[in-house]
Amino acid sequence: MCYSNKDRLIVRGGKKLKGEIKVQTSKNATLPIMSASLLADGKVYLKDCPDIIDVENMVKILAKLGADIKQIGDDYLIDSSKIMDACLDYELCKTMRSSIFLLGSILARFKSICLTFPGGCKIGKRPIDIHIQAFRRLNVKVTELDDFVFFNATKARAGKIRLKLPSVGATENIVQFASTLKGKTIIYNSAREPEVVDLCNFLNKMGAKIYGAGTKKITIIGVEKLKGVEYKPITDRIVLGTLLVATAICGGIIRLIDGNYDQNKKLIEILSLMGCQINIKNDIITLSRDIPLRSIPKIRTGYYPQFPTDLQSIILVLSCVAKGRTKIDEKIFENRFLIVNELKKMGAKIDLIDNHTAIVNGVDNLKASNLKAFDLRGGASLVLAGLVAQGETIIDNVHYIDRGYCHIEKMLKSLGADIERI
């Protein structure tokens, strides 16, 4: 990845999408797995990692810690045996929310860590209080300062944790930490996302004893050490969803390789109701749309297996060009509607009731405009709006999109979109 923060995307709308594409590996699975590689007593070989800014930054953070990392094409060989302490690069950590995943693995290995509050997209409050409460339940001493939080696990012990929310980050941190903590740790109300399951599968392959991943109760039996392994993280269900919605918006037909119906069931149900034809065969998902889109009355985000918040802005754009009225309730973050004013520039009819609810009345066409991305998923949504708009749309702040999408312009261009990066 060698893009600049000053890059822009130019999108000329009106082209139907057609073709076959392999879905990239999941950002939200790869990052915590990279973190968990610090626990290995041996080398970890991660296959087919996505070429995105967040992975690039995680590699930099691990290298700054002292890990020996070799990139072989899209694969990474990680040897963390020479890391001597847990001195994190705070400036790098501020660039991405996913640096929080390092908490569990570093604390397990070095027994203490001073963590800056992580950065990332400005989509609303993303407090780490759930993490702090969970670690305190395991007798970890936590000291909160203005900009930093200090964790000391020298007296940590296994125990039972009940999360007030099924937080993905907190679940993944505790799973990493407890993997080598003597005794039995149980997480109640644990996150059930596929990325959590993938992390647990990775740790189990390393020799961990984790049971119940994908359910509301995860049990971890601590082991003395974990071994190095070779592993390929799961494909990215959010990128897959973005491509499905892009084809729904533009019309045409697309075949997605390495798709997973179960992980994308809610979205596929919605797209079918809106007029798309979808066929599932093994790991191939085919979507076509050649009739006008029709809206559905209500879409509500929630924790997995409900409709994902990461696809909310994507489905918002689709609703903008569907016939009828849709109410969208965002139940996870309070700033997921940052793109509404940008879409209104394009002629979209959206009324914000509050930070969590939008009413969308579909229009026949969107018109091109100059737009700015404010976050990762919202930025990708603006690209989709540009694909269907009349004229030439210019999108700034593309670096947000590059955090999670591997060369989005090449991906869409291979399907027939008229898009370029300048």
Neighbours of 310 (CB within 10 A): 24
Cβ–Cβ < 8 Å for 121, 97: yes
Half-sphere exposure of 311 (CA within 13 A, CB side): 32
CA angle 195, 329, 409 (to 5 degrees): 55
Rounded Cα distance, 170 and 184, in Å: 17
Cis check: omega of the bond before 305, within 30 degrees of 0: yes
Contacting residues for 272 by C-beta, under 8 A, at least 6 apart: 278
Q: Which of 49, 93, 121, 276 is catalytic?
A: 121
Q: Is 121 a catalytic residue?
A: yes
Asked if 375 and 238 touch (Cβ cutoff 8 Å), the reply is no
Query: Could you tell me the strand order of the sheet in which 209-211 lies?
Result: 160-162, 184-188, 217-221, 209-211
Q: How far apart are CA 114 and CA 265, in angstroms?
A: 40
Please check whether residue 305 is in contact with residue 266, taking contact to mean a CB–CB distance below 8 angstroms: yes
In sequence order, the 6+-apart residues with CB closer than 8 A to the CB of 35 are 58, 101, 102, 104, 105, 176
- Determine the Cα–Cα distance for residues 67 and 59; give it in Å rounded to an integer: 9
Which of these, 228, 258, 249, 223, lies nearest to 381 by C-alpha position? 249
Catalytic residue numbers read: 121
